[in-house]
């Protein structure tokens, strides 16, 4: 046990030792987000970035190459990856390009010749709704970006878009269990209303404790990306207990899938 704990501490220490900063001239393991990865819309005005991200103690380095995905959507935990404490976000400096184009137009020039420019953000979350943001603009002498391929499904993992968990049957009793039947009815209602094609398994169940604790994982196979956004948005509401006593409001979010390991605790439900 002590050996395992020491190994974990060593790995975490290495992550911090080699963690990236805004002043670096080279960025490794950068995940690029392209327009083909992103869907905007749904009932909640949300975004789906169809890339599995791995939570890490070290900063997650992202390159946002999508003009319609605002950089500030990555800043707060309430909008994106709530369990990731630090992010380095890199993007084309669109404000600079916009200003150059405007200056050229005001000067009566047919075209503008901006230099290559990037905007870099260091994002450190301090709570669910607050973050410390530092940023710099870099012109011409740009840092090297070494991109990595996003994690992909293997024979031992499956990509899922949503997790819905339930606690103990008794000690104390998780009152969310009392609305599970209604949640199932609402899910079937969504599938019917939105004409979702569900010819494949869309759910796994994983045992997480000895008192009946478990989680459902939704692959959302057969859903379009817009249907995925609507389903995740509606699940936030229908899985909420004691709705009448709560001030329910929705903040636009970036949703993304994640990978779960297939093992003896995880079982497929239906086909």
Spatial contact of 251 and 74, defined as CB atoms under 8 Å apart? no
Q: Mark 70-86 as b/e (b = at least 16 C-beta within 10 Å).
A: ebebbbbbebbbeebbb
Q: Of 216, 204, 219, 229, which is closest to residue 177 (Cα–Cα)?
A: 216
Q: Which one, of 83, 77, 92, lies nearest residue 32 by Cα? A: 92
* Start-end of H helices in the chain: 2-17, 94-106, 180-193, 225-238
Q: What is the pLDDT of residue 140?
A: 85
| Cα–Cα dist 166/151, whole Å | 28
Give the mean pLDDT per block of 10 residues along the chain (271 residues): 52 56 92 97 92 95 97 98 98 91 78 87 97 95 94 92 95 94 93 82 88 95 94 93 83 96 90 54
Which residue is it, tokens 């990555």?
Answer: 74
CA–CA gap between residue 257 and residue 75 (Å, rounded): 19
How far is Cα 76 from Cα 57, in angstroms, rounded to an integer? Answer: 17
DSSP state of 138: E
Asked if residue 237 lies in contact with residue 178, where contact means CB atoms within 8 angstroms, the answer is: no
Q: Do residues 130 and 124 make contact, with C-beta atoms less than 8 angstroms apart?
A: no
């Amino acid at each position: 046990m002590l050996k395992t704990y020491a190994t974990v501490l060593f790995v975490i220490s290495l992550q911090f030792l080699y963690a990236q900063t805004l002043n670096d001239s080279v960025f490794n393991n950068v995940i690029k987000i392209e327009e083909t990865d992103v869907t905007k819309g749904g009932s909640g005005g949300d975004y789906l970035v169809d890339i599995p991200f791995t939570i890490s103690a070290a900063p997650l380095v992202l390159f946002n190459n999508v003009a319609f995905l605002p950089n500030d959507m990555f800043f707060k935990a309430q909008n994106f990856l709530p369990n990731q404490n630090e992010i380095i976000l890199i993007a084309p400096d669109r404000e600079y390009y916009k200003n150059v184009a405007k200056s050229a137009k005001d000067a009566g020039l047919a075209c503008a010749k901006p230099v290559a420019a990037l905007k870099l953000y260091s994002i450190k979350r301090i709570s669910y709704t607050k973050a410390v943001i530092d940023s710099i603009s870099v012109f011409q002498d740009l840092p090297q970006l070494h991109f990595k391929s996003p994690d992909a499904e293997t024979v031992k993992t499956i990509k899922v878009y949503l997790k819905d968990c339930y606690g103990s049957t008794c000690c104390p009793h998780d009152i969310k269990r009392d609305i599970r039947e209604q949640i199932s009815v609402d899910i079937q209602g969504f599938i019917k209303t939105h004409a979702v094609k569900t010819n494949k398994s869309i759910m796994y169940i994983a045992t997480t404790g000895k008192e009946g604790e478990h989680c459902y994982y939704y692959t959302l196979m057969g859903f379009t990306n817009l249907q995925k956004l609507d389903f995740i948005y509606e699940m936030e509401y229908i899985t909420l207990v004691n709705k009448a006593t709560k001030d329910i409001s929705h903040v636009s979010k970036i949703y993304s899938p994640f990978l779960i390991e297939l093992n003896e605790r995880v079982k497929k439900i239906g086909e």
